[in-house]
Amino acid sequence: MNRYANTAAYRFVRLDDREALRTRIHEAAQSRQLLGTVLLASEGINIFLAGREADLRDFFAELGQDPRFAALDVKWSGSDTLPFKRLRVRLKKEIVTVGAPDFDPTETPAPYLPPAELKRWYDEGRPFVIIDTRNRWEVEQGSFDNALDPGVDSFGQFPAALEQYADLKDTPIVTFCTGGIRCEKAAPLMKKAGFNQVWQLEGGILRYFEEVGGAHWHGNCVVFDDRGALKPDLSPAG
């Protein structure tokens, strides 16, 4: 059994009290000796925290008392050491940067595709295209079979990279990323650009590993902490 639990969670929701929220979240995490990063923007929250599982569950229970965060979908994995060195709660213009702080992904949402359903699509040979919305160096470490790589160095380049897929506007497309947060913007951006059949992998790669394992996946999944990357069994790749 792993000594520590690692969590990833996000939610796009309007936050107009970020300064007060930063203080409250920092105190709640610090009092439980949690380490990691929490990002707050007017568009929502993004959380990467690690610590003892009981302390993390207690933290998310307290956070969930705020109705804006009651529906947080938390992804879990384990490690024998803490993958973060400090606790940071930061304010940003966007929790997922595309250079458009006024873009609201909730206005043109794309439906979620559960991990088991994506596996079934692969197993059945269903005709669809799957697009990796992560950065190219992440893609090089591992990806889904036959996934298209837009070739971006940062997510801010993704909207312009869609031009290369103009002939796919009537093709079923599944987008995916590490934990789902980039696809919450990528899929609506694609719908806004005229792509008519777009899904986003629910919970991203981490949830797929959690529920399905490594079927139709090759390599490892990059994570942004000291573990570096995870295997499909959610153990550190290093």
- Distance in angstroms (rounded) separating the CA atoms of residues 40 and 61: 18
Q: Residues near 6 by Cβ (< 8 Å), separated by ≥ 6?
A: 48, 49, 50, 76, 77, 78, 79, 83, 225, 227
- Distance in angstroms (rounded) separating the CA atoms of residues 231 and 180: 18
Coil vs helix vs strand at 157: helix
Indicate which residues carry an active-site annotation: 177
User: Among 27, 13, 175, which Cα is nearest to 95's?
Assistant: 13
- Distance in angstroms (rounded) separating the CA atoms of residues 96 and 212: 26
Assess contact for 29 and 40: CB atoms under 8 A.
no
